[in-house]
Structure 1
Amino acid sequence: MKKIEPILDPNEIKDSIALFKQGNVDLDAWSTLTNNLYSRNSLLSFQNDWITFVNYCREVNVSPLPAAVTAVRRFVEHAAKTRKAASIKRYVITISLMHRVHSLPDSTRHREVRYTLNRLYQEKSDDAGQANAFMLSHLQALTAKLESSEKLKDIRDVLIWTLCFEGMLKRSELAALPYDAPRETDEGFVLAVDDQLIALSDDAKAQVEKWMTASGIFDGPLLRGINKHGHLSDAPMDHSSIYRVFRRAATELGLEGSLTFSGQSPRVGASQELAEAGKTIKEIQHQGRWKSPAMPAQYVGNKTASSEAMAKFKRKIEKD
């Protein structure tokens, strides 16, 4: 965690607390709060995690800022029912950050919360296991089943599955996509992810165009939440929403109970498809934007290469 100077002026603290207790605060405010030290993707993660916590606090009628020790502990226990250890850890980091920046006692440091976290981390120690692969055949079956639907949620979800698979997107990258990330260039239809342009298929292009027409989006985030009434949110999708989209994929395919897809599943499946097509680990690493070849090597079943790559990557970090 980067060193962020806390707010010290009592009036500024009061105004900032009032703002962030609303939950959905724009990224400019987050950037100012964190002294402009974080990237857009990191700010999006903070924003999404904080919205999740504030929404929970509203449901149980407690204050999110400052948050009582019991409120934080119960939130952690609630999140643990559906979220993995990494997500819970990220939630706690965000809650801790918000309290420290506002010069408030950090409830996450209380022994009651730490004990609960340690217990949950032990129970979820297998979370690091590899996600089930979301393969091209899965994508094709889902597209065939839902492509004629005019429901906004169906159009969005098919686009999410397609972009995540073809672009090998991380959840944070998916959530951060602006409305103009898919674009036409001299080289064809592409998806802009940070400073990289990823080629998309004609099918993906058609799905993007269908989504833009159905949603009416012309600014802001490309992919957004949809409530139970079918109304589109202005806010980007959070990690919980993305998780539900991939859980839905298994249900639609009749695989619920035998396979569990997550936001990581398309990266696993795409890596395996590329390996089958003859791509090298280095080429897969580049296409998936990994810093090390360790993960793609693990995904395609090359455990020796994965172990060697991870050891090399760790040595590089220690040297740096």
Structure 2
Amino acid sequence: MSELDRYLQAATRDNTRRSYRAAIEHFEVTWGGFLPATSDSVARYLVAYAGVLSINTLKLRLSALAQWHNSQGFADPTKAPMVRKVFKGIRALHPAQEKQAEPLQLQHLEQVVAWLELEIQSARAEQDRPRLLRATRDRALILLGFWRGFRSDELCRVQIEHVQARAGSGITLYLPRSKSDRENLGETYQTPALQRLCPVQAYVAWITEAALVRGPVFRGIDRWGHLSEEGLHANSVIALLRQVLERAGIPAEHYTSHSLRRGFASWAHQSGWDLKSLMSYVGWKDMKSAMRYVEASPFLGMTYLPDSAVVPPK
């Protein structure tokens, strides 16, 4: 790979690149289209999958086709008036409510952490090293993901070298890139220590137990308790979270890794955070995106709060 190709590749996120490759393959192989495409073939492709694929998936397919044509120096057929009109018609005839992850309610966060702590005690007493490591890791991942409002890919990319944690005080970590950091300037995040459900204490306990000094914070653990050198894959966080929730007695069918982010946003909104502070803390640039998280909260009427609550940033 040349230096030019390396920088061009770095300009696009890995997840986006994989999604685009899959979309192009679907157009060419599954549907039988040809590239470069015409506006007529793109319109017929949309019609073929209207009502079959979601609006968001069709939008992704159009973005992938546009990117392919632009990168290859061809005219973009997705911008043709006919394609735009067909897509508008599909949205009108196949409206679909956007599916959102179930927010992890605070009492469920407390329940799952309580179960994990019992699991840690039991594993330590039985000298079950693999079970001890997994429970300690999962507690840190869930608490940090909730109180920091992180996406799964952000959690999986946290590096020990970029984290400063002081027990009883707080944690500061740096992410070189994230979905909301469009310019790849890097973002620094902070979270205070709490008296209960503390992400700082959980992080320190995990790093200490696993004897980690560099590399990914959250990584795989095999059946013998050996830690992977690589970080967890973002797609594995859903299965991890659901498994822990189920074992803690919480039906987990509608939970995803996004449930941590949605849960924190809903809690913060009901705890009196103004939208500007919440957007700044979580990293939203667009108010419309933020409102999707806080407009329907399951926390109305709840009285439970940790002894030391997270406060909005100044």
TM-score in terms of structure 1 length: 0.58
Cα distance in 1 for partners of 2:98, 2:288 equals 14
Residue 211 (structure 2) aligns with? 216
Out of 263, 271, 287, the position equivalent to 1:269 is 263
- What aligned pairs does 1:43-192 form with structure 2 within 5 A after superposition? 46=14, 91-93=18-20, 110-112=28-30, 122=52, 128-148=98-118, 149=120, 150=123, 151-184=132-165, 188-192=169-173
Bigger mean CA deviation after superposition, 172-181 or 248-257: 248-257
Partner of 1:294: 288
Aligned-CA RMSD value: 3.5
Pair 1:110–1:192, CA change in 2 (3 A): same
Measure how far apart 1:210 and its partner are.
Answer: 1.4
The answer to whether residue 230 in structure 2 is matched with residue 230 in structure 1 is no
Following superposition, the deviation at residue 127 of structure 1 comes to: 9.0
- Which residue is equivalent to 2:70? none
1:155–1:33 CA distance, 2 compared to 1 (3 A): farther
How far apart are residue 234 of structure 1 and its match?
0.6
Q: Where does structure 1 lack aligned partners over 5 or more consecutive residues?
A: 1-6, 13-30, 50-88, 97-105, 304-320
Is the Cα–Cα contact under 8 Å of residues 156 and 223 in structure 1 kept in the other structure? yes
The Cα shift of 1:114 comes to: 6.8
Relative to structure 1, the CA distance from residue 224 to residue 278 in structure 2 (aligned partners, 3 Å threshold; closer, same or farther) is same
2 CA distance for matches of 1:279 and 1:291? Answer: 16
Change (3 A) 1:33 1:171: farther
Higher helix share: 1
The answer to whether residue 29 in structure 2 is matched with residue 35 in structure 1 is: no
The gaps in structure 2 that reach 5 residues or longer are 34-44, 56-95, 124-131, 176-186, 298-314
Give the direction of change, closer, same or farther, for the CA distance of 1:92–1:199 in structure 2 (3 Å limit): closer
State the AA in 1 paired with 2:292. Q
Which of structures 1 and 2 has the larger relative contact order (alpha carbons within 8 angstroms, sep 6+)? Answer: 2
In the alignment, what sits opposite 2:81? none
Match of 1:199 among 191, 195, 211: 191
Q: TM-score, normalised by structure 2?
A: 0.59
Deviations 1:258-294 (A, max 9, x none): x521111111111111111111122211111011121
Structure 2 CA distance, aligned partners of 1:124 and 1:230?
41
Structure 1 residues 114, 250: CA separation in 2 closer, same or farther (over 3 Å shift)? farther
Is 2:163–2:174's contact at 8 Å kept on the other side of the alignment? no
Distance 1:226 1:298 in 2: 35
Structure 2 residue matching 1:197: 3-state secondary structure: strand
Aligned residues, how many? 220
For 1:121 and 1:246, the matched residues in 2 are separated by 31
1:183 Cα shift?
Answer: 1.2
- Conserved? CA contact 2:150–2:261, under 8 Å: yes
Q: Specify whether residues 172 and 188 from structure 1 end up closer, same or farther in structure 2 by C-alpha distance, changes over 3 A only.
A: same
Q: Secondary structure of the residue that 1:269 maps to in structure 2?
A: helix
Instruction: Name 2:126's counterpart in structure 1.
Output: none
